[in-house]
């Protein structure tokens, strides 16, 4: 499970990495910690087949009888064909740009471990393969019906680094342009083949402690 990640980068760096035009990018600020329900950047295809960056609310909404609606932020690889996810996987895939992701270990208090890619920069950009949809309904118990675009992203079995913190799941990370394009524009079968854990040697833990934000300083 991944309920926390960050996007610590500039607008220009994001545009370069993901092939975005300035007029197709919503304004955003660097985000040191993105939890369920937060608004965050997502990249998707437009009707004219260009890429756009928009701000969507994190987490599909699952109604629960007699209880508050639940935000579902992770799409398991073994559940993507179920009715809750299937239509979005086949028709509404997106990229969720990120610079690090976080997993807690232990309790009272938990230690939060931040993972990033190795590379020539402190936090090389990557993307989670995501899904989006338009939600019509409440987002809190006894709340009004609203219309809101929401997103989630894929998880899979952990690699040997991730399993030192969470031995159940890890997010899927995409790093290469060919992968990004296939996720956005490929067939469901082609996209599904991208759902796998990243090589542990490509990642490292960059921060551990009680902070629920990536403390990387932005130059």
Bridge pairing between strands 31-34 and 203-209: unpaired
Residue 110 lies in a domain: yes
Residue 70 lies in a domain: yes
Residue 204 lies in a domain: yes
What is the mean predicted confidence (pLDDT) over 113-139? 96
Query: For residue 153, what pLDDT is reported?
Result: 98
What is the maximal distance between C-alpha atoms in the chain?
50
pLDDT at 214 > cutoff 90 = yes
In this structure, what are the phi and psi dihedrals at residue 110, rounded to the nearest 5 degrees? Answer: -75, 155
What's the domain range around 48?
Answer: 4-209
Query: For residue 207, what pLDDT is reported?
Result: 96
**Could you give the 3-state DSSP secondary structure of residue 70?**
strand
Taking phi first (over 0 means left), then psi (-120 to 50 degrees means alpha), and beta for anything else, what does residue 198 get?
beta
Query: For residue 66, what pLDDT is reported?
Result: 86
What is the mean predicted confidence (pLDDT) over 40-64? 96
Residue 116 lies in a domain: yes
pLDDT at 219 > cutoff 60 = no
CA triple 189-155-212, angle to 5 deg? 150
Residue 214 lies in a domain: no
What is the mean predicted confidence (pLDDT) over 192-206? 98
Residue 217 lies in a domain: no
pLDDT by residue (tens digit) across 18-41?
Answer: 999 999 999 999 999 999 999 999
Residue 42 lies in a domain: yes
Domain count, the chain: 1
- Which residues, listed in sequence order, are joined to residue 51 by a DSSP beta bridge? 45
Residue 160 lies in a domain: yes
pLDDT by residue (tens digit) across 172-187?
Answer: 999 999 999 999 999 9
* CA gap 151, 167 in Å, rounded: 24
Share of the chain above pLDDT 70, in %: 99
Query: For residue 1, what pLDDT is reported?
Result: 62
Query: For residue 50, what pLDDT is reported?
Result: 94
The H-or-E segment that residue 96 falls in is strand 93-98
The CATH number assigned to the domain holding 73 equals: 3.90.1680.10
What is the mean predicted confidence (pLDDT) over 100-106? 95
The model's pTM is 0.96
pLDDT bracket for residue 107 (50, 70, 90): confident
Query: For residue 97, what pLDDT is reported?
Result: 98
176 DSSP assignment:
S
């Amino acid at each position: 499970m991944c309920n926390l990640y960050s996007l610590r980068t500039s607008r220009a760096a994001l545009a370069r990495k993901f092939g975005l035009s300035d007029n197709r990018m919503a304004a955003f600020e660097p985000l040191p910690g993105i939890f369920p329900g937060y608004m965050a950047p997502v990249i998707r295809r437009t009707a004219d087949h260009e890429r756009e960056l928009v701000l969507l609310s994190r987490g599909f909404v699952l109604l629960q009888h007699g209880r508050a609606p639940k935000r579902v932020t992770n799409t398991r690889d073994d559940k993507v064909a179920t009715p809750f996810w299937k239509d979005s996987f086949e028709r509404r895939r997106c990229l969720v740009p990120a610079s690090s992701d976080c997993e807690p270990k232990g309790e009272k208090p938990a230690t939060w471990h931040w993972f990033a890619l190795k590379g020539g920069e402190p936090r090389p950009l990557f993307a989670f393969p995501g899904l989006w949809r338009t939600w019509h309904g409440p987002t809190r118990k006894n709340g009004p019906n609203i219309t809101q675009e929401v997103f989630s992203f894929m998880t899979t079995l952990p690699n040997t680094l991730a399993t030192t913190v969470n031995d159940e799941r890890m997010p899927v990370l995409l790093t290469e342009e060919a992968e990004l394009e296939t996720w956005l524009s490929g067939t469901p079968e082609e996209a599904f083949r991208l759902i796998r854990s990243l090589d542990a040697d490509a990642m490292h833990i960059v921060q551990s402690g009680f902070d629920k934000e990536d403390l990387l300083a932005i130059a």
